[in-house]
Chains A and B, each alone.
Chain A
Amino acid sequence: MIRHSFALRTALSAAGLVLVLSLLGAGWVWRQGEAELRAQLDFTLAAEAEALVREAETLGLAGLVEQARSFGRRGSPLLVALQTVDGAPIAGGLAGASPSLLRGFATLRAEGGRGPLRALGALLPTGVNLIVASDLAPVERAAARLAWAPVGAAGLAVAAGLALGFAGARRLESRLANAGEAARGIMDGDLARRLPANPRGDEFDRLAATINLMLARIEALMAAQRQVTENIAHDLRTPLSRLRLRLEAALAAPRSPPADAATMEAALAELDQVLATFRALLRIARADSGAGRAEFQPFDLSALVAGVAEAYGPVAEDAGRQLAAMIAPGLVLSGDAALLRQSLANLLDNALLHGGPHIALRLSAGPVLEVTDDGPGIPAAERQAVQGRFHRLEASRNTPGTGLGLALVAATARLHGGALDILDGPGGQGVTLRLDLRARAG
């Protein structure tokens, strides 16, 4: 598992790069160092040769011969040889190398397994060829030592880097393993599980926090979906079984065109009711999923409310009620106009079907939308429940409706970041349904 580690791979690549670069650097240092050391050696040879020539001028050839011999005796790193113009040795020696007449610098190949020699030859006025030479091997050794030093340091750095990389990979592996385990737990159905996040807040913790928010959203969506499924299973089964019984009974009865037509009409009406419930459920689920939020458009909320009020005014009047509308002008909201129109219609439908003789519709800045009526109201204990799906008050079991009206209003409020509040009406009479659309944080 650790072989396929990003951290380790990064550490290995970095180590490889450091090694290659340090080798290139070592080559460069070696070349430069060797050239520099050779120049130094040449300088030393020249100084020594000059000193010898000056001594020859004062001591004569005999003194020079004695000097050359003494270099050999002392075992000096410098070799001094004197020879005739023809190459016949006079004194001293070059450790096996025997060049013919030498003037100026040269690199000589020595015999007897020694490294090459750097030599400087000068022709003295007495007809003697003076050669001063030195072994080149120390120069190369020094250059190599110089060159290998950074390579050694790089090697240490690489080893340390690899060790750190391996440790980091192990650490990363264990943190990711925790996250992976949590993810597998979630896949196995534990939707409440979350990724571990330290309060320390490094980049992994921040990522985990974001993913946890996403998981919370998914959990909420799944819960909503499950609720819809359960609603469908429980609340659509009743009308559908009723429909089945009705058709079965009609089929068993003797054929009679008028009775059959009546049965079919009743069946169609029942089916339409089921479909309406279905549509409402889907719409609520869609609002709850937040899917429409990306398509929110700013629109004139005041005009929308005025339009709905105008549609419902005559309806209230014909039902012997009064609908008073107080609409603050020019309120613009970014949201789903179709859902808000339906929510307001649902609130007014409710007031007309279950409420008292006076209905007040008020839109005020915020925006806050209120529908108040002076009817029997909603008991405080049921105010939360009526916002759920299919909850109907005992008193209204036999009035038309799907039991989904307020659920849609509540879902619409949530979609817009607001809430549906159910309050006592003014003076404690009746009820006020307040659709608060002031977007709330979170």
Chain B
Amino acid sequence: MRILVIEDDRATADYIAKGLQEDGQVVDVARDGKDGMFLAMNEPFDVIVTDRMLPGANGLSIIRALRASGIATPVLVLTALGEVDKRVEGLEAGADDYLGKPFAFAELRARIRALARRPAGPPAEQTELVHGDIRMDLLHRTATRGPRKLDLLPTEWRLLEYMLRHPGQVLTRTMLLEKVWDFSFDPTTNVVDVHVSRLRRKLEAPGEAPAIRTVRGAGYALEAAARDAAG
């Protein structure tokens, strides 16, 4: 995977680049908005990570320029602590995800992976999500694991749908809170864990293989092993 990192702070840029390279990614770093814009417009990348405030051209104007030229590369915007509530503005400019600084590297990695593997078509066109023996019919709103019908509450449905759209990837609590519940904050109580464990109980009947894996210190992932069960 080839990733462009546009970040003017040298320490942060090096930290992100080093982490992603250790992950086996190819990373290009631009240190100002002008270079970033040039690279983003002229080279193919799988994901672009850009700071919001940049010398030269700011992150949002880079995104607008990309989208105006028909380049749909997923973009993740990083923002300073003081801009917690600028999320909507960023998403409206055409950013695909938004992460406030300072962040845990695991969080950034999880979000980059989720962006890189987004399905090419718009989600609305998909009528069925399948992962291993877990199957979700979006038209009839039915979910099954193998022959067994899953009886899901609305929240559990949304949670499973989101996980099925990102099979095998680590999804952090923050990502789940944002995408499933629209919570842009971290509640004091363990909302995510409670719902995941309920979904897990419904997915994993006695004798069935584990479906949701807990990634310690990071989040949850739909078990890749589930695919093996289906062959």
Contact = CB atoms under 8 A, between A and B. Distances in A.
B188 A349 contact: yes
Nearest to A338: B184
Contacts of A283: 84-85, 185
Given A275-B102, A292-B85, A353 B189 contact: yes
Interface string A322-348: 000000000000000010011001101
Given A338-B85, A345-B183, A405 B154 contact: no
A286 interface: yes
A278 B184 contact: no
Contacts of B181: 307-308, 311
A222 to B, nearest CB: 18
A248 interface: no
Contact of B188 (A279, A295, A319, A405): A405
Interface in B42-98: 81-82, 84-85, 88
Interface stretch (B18-26, B140-148, B191-199, B207-215): B191-199
B106 to A, nearest CB: 11
Interface string A288-325: 00001001000000000001101110110011000000
Given A307-B181, A314-B198, A349 B81 contact: no
Given A341-B183, A342-B185, A345-B185, A311 B191 contact: yes
A315 B85 contact: no
Name the residue in B187, B189, B195 with the highest tally of chain A Cβ atoms < 10 Å from its Cβ: B189
Interface of A: 275-276, 278-279, 282-283, 286, 292, 295, 307-308, 310-312, 314-315, 318-319, 338, 341-342, 345-346, 348-349, 352-353, 400-401, 405
B186 interface: yes
B153 interface: yes
A349 B186 CA distance: 11
B82 A276 contact: no
Chain A at the B interface: mostly helix, strand, loop or mixed?
helix
B84 A315 contact: no
Nearest to B186: A276
Contacts of B194: 314-315, 318
28 contacts: A275-B102, A279-B81, A282-B84, A283-B84, A283-B185, A286-B84, A292-B85, A295-B88, A310-B154, A311-B155, A311-B195, A312-B191, A314-B155, A314-B194, A315-B189, A315-B194, A318-B194, A338-B85, A341-B183, A342-B183, A345-B185, A345-B187, A346-B187, A346-B188, A349-B187, A349-B188, A353-B188, A405-B188
Interface residues of B, number: 24
B228 interface: no
Interface of B: 81-82, 84-85, 88, 100, 102, 153-155, 181-191, 194-195, 198
Nearest to A312: B191
Given A311-B191, A315-B190, 17 more contacts: A276-B186, A279-B84, A282-B82, A283-B85, A286-B84, A286-B85, A295-B88, A310-B155, A311-B181, A318-B194, A319-B189, A342-B183, A342-B184, A342-B185, A345-B183, A349-B187, A349-B189
Contacts of B185: 279, 283, 342, 345
B183 A352 contact: no
Nearest to A318: B194
Contacts of A341: 182-183
B101 to A, nearest CB: 10
Contacts of A400: 188
Nearest to B89: A295
Contacts of B81: 275, 278-279, 282
Contacts of B188: 346, 349, 353, 400-401, 405
B216 to A, nearest CB: 11
Contacts of A318: 194
A353 B187 CA distance: 11
A307 B158 CA distance: 12
Given A315-B189, A349-B188, A310 B84 contact: no
Contacts of A307: 181-182
Nearest to A297: B88
Contacts of A348: 189
Contacts of A405: 188
